[in-house]
Amino acid sequence: MSRVVRTLSAMVASFVLFLGAPPVARAAPVDPAPYYLALGDSLSQGVQPNSAGMSVETKQGYADDLWSRYHATSPNLRLAKLGCPGETTATMQSGGICSYPLGSQLAQATEFLATHHVVLLTLDIGANNIDSCVSAAAGLDQACLMAGFAAVSRDLPVILQALRQAAPQVKKVAMTYYDPFVAAALKGGAFTALAVQSEQLGSAFNQILASQFVSHGFAVADVAGAFAPVNIPSMPFLDLPVDLTFVCAYTWMCAPSPVGPNIHATALGYSVIALAFGQKIG
């Protein structure tokens, strides 16, 4: 066989092998614009009650406030809100409440982090695991609370680890929760005891959240402290405890029907949450 024939045969064989080879995986295109990605539950979407008392998504949430603050000096910064009202630590992983192309908020978030230039990520998650366990009518449902605490302890590390792996270099800040149920003390009597129990419960819950956040590389925005500042001794002219005064101002819990009571933050409350985040973001 001549050298020319041998060369042609080798070229043909190589071409056949190339046609039969699997396609080479290509990296997804990355959007070069800088993004602030807000994840979590209704607070990340800025939910507030409308005049009929229905909870609706607004553009007056803490994510909107934060974006406005940083957009002023970084005009190219974009905001992406993937949060889902009602989201729990379980549904954030498996979906079922809000609709996402990839099935769940966590899957959508990790895909977004892989295909976009995210410079800031904020998170609030876990409150919906236990909020339904507290009510003015039934008090504290201990079995419900135990299940909620267990679910958060089980699910939160999975969520945080997935986000950390997807965005190891991105600034990540998560928040503790304010306690809206201290507003029960306004009714007096047995409701005062419920408010005290709720406050103790909230403190324990926030300790679990903060511990998990820190261990997975998240900074912690002290929203609980911002809503109940301990450095203000008293407000005698209002004749209300300090924490109750702020809950009434920062949430819709003390609003008359049909708007209230509603656990979500007011526009002022969301700005306070944004400030707590901003102190950790810089």
Q: Tell me the backbone φ, ψ of residue 142, rounded to 5 degrees.
A: -65, -40
Q: How far, in Å, CA of 105 to CA of 124, rounded?
A: 13
| Confidence at 274, pLDDT banded by 50, 70, 90 | very high
- Architecture of the domain made up of 31-281: 3-Layer(aba) Sandwich (3.40)
The Cα-based distances of 152 to 39, 104, 149, 206, 234 in angstroms read 16, 17, 5, 11, 34
Pairing of the two strands 171-175 and 219-221: parallel
Question: What are 166's strand-pairing partners?
Answer: none
Kindly state the tokens that stand for 89: 């630590």
What pTM, to 2 d.p., does this model score?
Answer: 0.85
Share of the chain above pLDDT 90, in %: 71
- Where are the chain's structural domains? 31-281
Q: Choose among 134, 209, 137: nearest CA to 173.
A: 209
Q: Running DSSP on this structure, what letter comes out for residue 169?
A: T
pLDDT digits (tens, 9 = 90+) for 185-232: 777 777 777 888 888 899 999 999 999 999 999 999 999 999 986 544
Q: What is the pLDDT of residue 205?
A: 96
Q: Specify whether the CB–CB gap between 96 and 49 falls below 8 A.
A: no
Q: What's the pLDDT tens digit per position in 78-134?
A: 999 999 999 999 999 999 999 999 999 999 999 999 999 999 999 999 999 999 998
pLDDT of 64 reads 98
| For the chain, percent of residues with pLDDT exceeding 70 | 83
The pLDDT of residue 4 is 38
